[in-house]
Chain A
Amino acid sequence: MRIFLLHVMAILWKDIRYELRSRQTWLGMGMFVLLVLVIFNFTFDLRVDNVSAVAPGVLWIAFIFASLLGLGRTLAAEREQHSMDRLLLCPVDRKAIYLAKLLGNLLFIGVVEIVALPIYALLFNVPLPAALLLIVLLGTLGIATIGTLFSVMAAATHARELLLPILVFPLIVPVVISVVRATQQLMAPTVNEPPWIGLLIAFDVIFLSISMLTFQYVVEE
């Protein structure tokens, strides 16, 4: 168990160092999220009475697209450097590779989201309760779990940037519904609302397990 965690940390630290050195993707993702939030101002006529209906959706569209961008970029970088092949040669459990990639993606997307949240609160004039951070974390975990597994699949093809959204979007529908409804609940509580956080947690647990178990089949040559 201890060796497993050491492997995860080693691979994760490698990815973090790589990103810190290049710095391209973080800036790009950050600007992208900001621009999506701004563009939505022109597409929806936001007034005070409809902000709780529209704003959570806007936030989550921005996060989903930024996540997909981030997932695609990290794996493209990996393929360019052929480091995945070298990593597979090492006697490391494939689950550890998956977990490290997942944590890397989470960290990556998480940083962008944490920067984007205050800007979102500012632009749309909505409050930022602490529970929102929990929703963001669980939602991002759900998207990243599916996305990390499929970014490896899509990376083997030529049309990888095109294929990744096609693969990921249908599968993250429960996450999208849950996070948007949960965010709306925070802003405008209603009665008899289904347990969205519970669904998010269940989704995350189920797909984290499946992804860890099936990752070895996806990544081996």
Chain B
Amino acid sequence: MALTKQATDMISPAEEHLNSVDRGHPARLPIAALILGGLSCIGMLASIWLIFFYTPIDALQGVTQRIFYFHVPTAWTGMLGFVVMTVASIVYLIKPDERLDWIARASGEVGAVFLTFLLITGSLWGKPIWGAWWVWDPKLTAALILWFMFIGYLMLRSYMGRTPESARVGAVWSIVGVIDVPIIYFSVLWWRGQHPGPQITSDGGLPPAAVLTLMVSLATFTLLYCFLMVLVYQLQRLQTQAQRLHAIVE
């Protein structure tokens, strides 16, 4: 009797990794998704109104400068995504819970999308202002390398599948990445130091209206990031369950 009780009480190392749903609890509809979605929608409408109607037109750059209010928040959310991915991964290494892995993968996907927008909006802004789609100055180069980090993470996770090894490898990748990107920024800064690139006139001397617009825009994009995170997290959960069901059926 004692032996059977022990056997059923023990969670095997393979199962320790499993989440609560696979241990038998039913799934729940995320109210958070609805709330965050609604807030992001309102915030985005407010931001668009502020950006296009409320903020004064920039004296030097003209109307093109308004991209700034989309560009800076996407940079912020992209970097936030990378940090969330790394923190979730590190905690996963310490205590392997696949929910942390889902957070990391979700953050990787959402962050990659935001970073792609960053590069696109940056190029669109750069062409009229600098006359070039791309310059190799430190910020842009570091952003490009960060983008490669995200893409590398997604490719690596995709190729390795949904296994604990894949999660650990992803964790190591993001740890190496989070330390390397600042080093890359500084090495490019040193390299380009003698050839000063074009300056993005941003935070120096913004009027209060512009600061307000920027803050609202930042908050909106952060809400959007959280909303997308909840959705992609659910997607990761469902994909993992689907894979498990496939394995049982086959």
Contacts and interface: CB of A to CB of B under 8 A. Distances in A.
Given A194-B190, A199-B187, A199-B190, A163 B156 contact: yes
Interface in A138-168: 146, 149, 153-154, 156-159, 163, 166-167
Contact of A157 (B160, B172, B187): B160
Chain A interface size range: 20 to 34
Contacts, number: 86
B79 to A, nearest CB: 16
A220 interface: yes
Contacts of B172: 149, 153, 214, 217-218
A218 B169 contact: yes
Contacts of A211: 176
A173 B145 contact: yes
Contact of B148 (A170, A174, A178): A170
A203 B187 CA distance: 11
A217 B184 CA distance: 25
B191 to A, nearest CB: 5
B146 to A, nearest CB: 9
B38 interface: no
A214 B184 contact: no
Given A153-B156, A217-B93, A220-B165, A177 B176 contact: no
B168 A171 contact: no
A203 B149 CA distance: 18
Contact of A218 (B151, B168, B183, B186): B168
Contacts of B188: 173, 177
A170 B159 contact: no
B51 interface: no
Given A170-B148, A181-B191, A194-B190, A210 B93 contact: no
B149 A170 contact: yes
Nearest to A157: B159
A4 interface: no
Interface string A166-207: 110111011001100100000000001010100100110011
A211 B179 CA distance: 12
Nearest to A174: B187
B187 A177 contact: yes
A221 interface: yes
A171 B177 contact: yes
Interface string B135-161: 000000100010011011001100110
A37 to B, nearest CB: 24
Contacts of B183: 174, 199, 202-203, 206
B207 interface: no
A174 B176 contact: no
Contacts of A210: 175-176, 179
Given A149-B172, A194-B193, A218-B172, A173 B152 contact: no
Nearest to B191: A177
Given A170-B149, A173-B145, A177-B187, A157 B175 contact: no
B187 A163 contact: no
Contacts of B152: 166-167, 170
B224 interface: no
Contact of B180 (A174, A178, A196, A199): A174
Nearest to B194: A192
B171 interface: yes
Contacts of A206: 179, 183
Nearest to A178: B187
Nearest to B152: A167
A192 B190 CA distance: 11
A157 B155 CA distance: 10
B117 interface: no
B171 A217 contact: yes
B134 interface: no
Contacts of A192: 194
Contacts of A196: 190
Among all A-B residue pairs, the 7 with the closest Cβ atoms: A157-B159, A170-B148, A174-B187, A194-B190, A217-B168, A214-B172, A170-B145
